[in-house]
Structure 1
Amino acid sequence: MGTSVTISAATDQDAEQILKLQYLCYQTEAALYDDYGIEPLTQTLADLRAELSAGCVVVARLGEEVVGSVRGSVDADGTAAIAKLIVHPRLQRHGLGGRLLAAVEERLAAERSARRYRLFTGHRSEGNLRLYRSHGYAPVATEQLGQRLSLVTLEKEIRQEAAAEEFVARA
């Protein structure tokens, strides 16, 4: 009998596993853009711990192992920034990224009053773009950061009816 993947809030004890998984997962992005100095590969454990304490971090676990993670924060105007959605390579393409994305969206709306979601990815990251579009995100801007990289910003508005239904369901 196999162990199922569970999704929950991250704790400080997850920090090292998240950082190691992040390093593993961002290797393909670094190779795609020929840039191994990207922030997810240079982030320190102290910086990650600060994100854990200040933001909303969700993890996916297979038993005790952290096999996925995503982070979010909400600014004063209600825009949630979602970042660093990662899934262990052996579990990719099984819907876990979408489950993590939905979980962080739900928490950001319920706990931090998010009104819209914003995220970004590189222009060559077709799998990421496909995932985000399939979850209702639409491109709103593209910023050229260099010869090799353009960042595509995508956004999704929260439907007020869905937020109200969610509130009623929780009451």
Structure 2
Amino acid sequence: MGMSVTISAASAQDVEQIFRLQYLCFQSEAELYGNYRIDPLTQTLSSVREEVATDLVFVARLGDEIVGSVRGAIDEEGTGRIGKLCVHPRLQGHGLGTRLLRAAESALAGERAATRFRLHTGERSEGNLRLYRKAGYARVGDTTGEDGVRLILLEKEAAAPEFVASA
């Protein structure tokens, strides 16, 4: 019988696994752009530790193994910024990226009162762009990252909280 993947908030004990997973997952992006200086590959372990301590970070677990991760933070304008969404290559295409994205959106809206969500991906990252469009994101611009990669900026409005009547 197979194990199911669970999504939960990351803890300080998860930092090293997140760090290693991120490095593995973003190799294909670096190869796509011929640029191994992209932020997820140059980020330090201490920086990941700081993000886990201050941001909303979620992980996908298969047993004891972390097989996916995403970060969320709120900016001064109330925009939830989502980043570094990654899923282990052997588990891609099974909806884990969508589940992690929803977890980040839900927490940013519920815990940090985000009014909209913003994220970015490389312009050649067709799989990522497909995932984000399917999740309701629309292109709002583009920019060039510090590493020289051309990025597509995407946004969507946060859904209004559902009203639940009680008797």
Q: Tell me which interval the TM-score lies in, with the shorter structure as reference length.
A: over 0.9
Q: Which deviates the most, 70-79 or 127-136?
A: 70-79
Runs of 4+ in 1 over 6 A off after TM superposition: none
- Partners of 1:149 and 1:35 in 2: how far apart? 8
- Paired residue for 1:30? 30
Distance 1:68 1:145 in 2: 23
Distance 1:130 1:32 in 2: 16
- 5+ residue gaps, structure 1, are none
Q: CA RMSD in A?
A: 1.6
Structure having the higher helix fraction is: 1
Letter matched to residue 20 of structure 1: R
Cα offset, 1:145, TM superposition: 4.9
Q: Is 1:90 the equivalent of 2:94?
A: no
Pair 1:19-2:24 in alignment: no
1:8-157 aligned within 5 A = 8-145=8-145, 149-157=149-157
- Output the TM-score relative to the length of structure 1: 0.92
Instruction: Specify every segment of 5 or more residues in structure 2 that has no aligned partner in the other structure, as ranges.
Output: none
Greater displacement, 39-48 / 133-142: 39-48
Tell me which moved more, 119-128 or 31-40.
Answer: 31-40
The Cα offsets for residues 2-33 of structure 1, whole Å up to 9 and x where unpaired, read as 11000000000000000000000000000001
Q: Secondary structure at the match of 2:80?
A: strand
Work out the CA distance in 2 between the residues paired with 1:23 and 1:158.
30
Residue range with higher mean Cα deviation, 120-129 or 136-145: 136-145
Corresponding residue for 1:164? 162
> TM-score if structure 2 supplies the norm length?
0.94
Aligned length: 165
- Alignment-mate amino acid for residue 121 of structure 2: T
The alpha-carbon deviation at position 143 of structure 1 amounts to 1.7
Code of the aligned partner of 1:82: I
Identity of aligned residues (%): 60
